[in-house]
Amino acid sequence: MNTKLHAICDSHGRPLDLFVTAGQVSDYIGARALLSSLPSVDWLLGDRGYDADWFREALKDRGINACIPGRKQRNKPVKYDKRRYKRRNRIEIMFGRLKDWRRVATRYDRCPKVFLSAIALAALVIYWL
């Protein structure tokens, strides 16, 4: 019954693409699923859960700079733009606004497809209408 929501947002914090995984699954699964639908951008801001060498290489191949802090267990620290990383709060605000909808926050739906549909409907109403 636990799920994680992975999202691609624009610079204003509006969701462009959504993906739901099981709660115990690593964030790498969500990153791999959303990698093909990334728009052409200069920077990608992500949290520590998306710190993987293969993900950074895939972003570099697409011409996208990664602003992802390194995991604590990483042997060599990764440099990232800390000032740019502070803008990631727009994504967290987007998740908070989606959770204002009680159906999304309490997850009434058992089926992941129906739950993702409810999230997409809430995002559509909040950000695009």
pLDDT by residue, tens only, the chain of 129 residues:
688 899 999 989 999 999 999 888 888 888 999 998 899 999 999 989 899 999 999 999 999 999 999 988 888 889 999 999 999 999 999 999 999 999 888 888 888 899 999 999 999 999 988
Q: What one-character DSSP code corresponds to residue 120? A: H
Domains of the chain (ranges, CATH numbers): 3-126 (3.30.420.10)
The pair of structure tokens assigned to 119 is 């999230």
Where do we find the tokens 């994504």? 91
pTM: 0.84
User: What DSSP string describes 20-34?
Assistant: EEETTS-HHHHHHHH
